[in-house]
Amino acid sequence: MSASQVLKTARDGQLTIIDGTGSPNTLVVAFEDGDFSFSDDKAERIVMRDRGAIVGLRKGDDSVPSFSFSVYMREFMDSSAVTIIDVIEGTNGASGWLTTGVAGFEQTLFNIEMEVEGTAHGDAGDHQLTMTRCFLNWDFAEAKEGNKITITGEVYGTVSRTEAT
């Protein structure tokens, strides 16, 4: 089987935030720019040298993969509906959301799924990037074209890439 021949665009993507309850709470991110970015830097490199000449390369500390995306601001909070800021802060409509962290992880963490449509383009399946135990931060900025909330995240669990078949 050959690789997909169809270029994927922002219109093909969908981001979902998932909590740690048994039947997970989920928030499909809406009113987003389609500017999701992800960086999975490899473990630190320890260069071994013999009198200045490189003779080897060893793995050092694990890196912390990171990601970001932005959404158009609709409201800062809602006492009954779930907003993205409420999810991150664990307030209002998302006050019952649970962490995906385990012992040793004090902060509230989430799983993040980035799914890119593939079947509609003739691929064998959709394409998915899943990140577990993600710590989220948010920033707000006004703009003439629409106020924005920027989400940044750090991955303290696993990163997996899959294609549904």
pLDDT at 10 (0 to 100): 87
Question: Which residues, 6+ apart, have CB-to-CB distance to 83 below 8 Å?
Answer: 74, 75, 76, 77, 92, 93, 94
How far apart, in whole angstroms, are the C-alpha atoms of residue 13 and residue 75?
23
Exposed/middle/buried for residue 70 (C-beta within 10 Å: 0-12, 13-18, 19+): buried
Across 12-163, the runs of DSSP E, i.e. the strands, are 13-18, 26-28, 37-39, 45-50, 53-59, 66-72, 110-116, 127-141, 148-155, 159-163
Q: Which fold has domain 10-163?
A: Pnp Oxidase; Chain A (2.30.110)
The band of 164, judged by pLDDT with boundaries at 50, 70 and 90, is: low
Domain locations along the chain: 10-163
Please name which of 59, 55, 62, 69 lies closest in space to residue 14, comparing C-alpha atoms.
Answer: 69
- Stretch 7-25: mean pLDDT: 91
| Highest mean pLDDT pick, 4-13, 84-93, 121-130 | 84-93
Residue 136 near residue 110, CB atoms below 8 Å: yes
pTM (predicted TM-score): 0.88
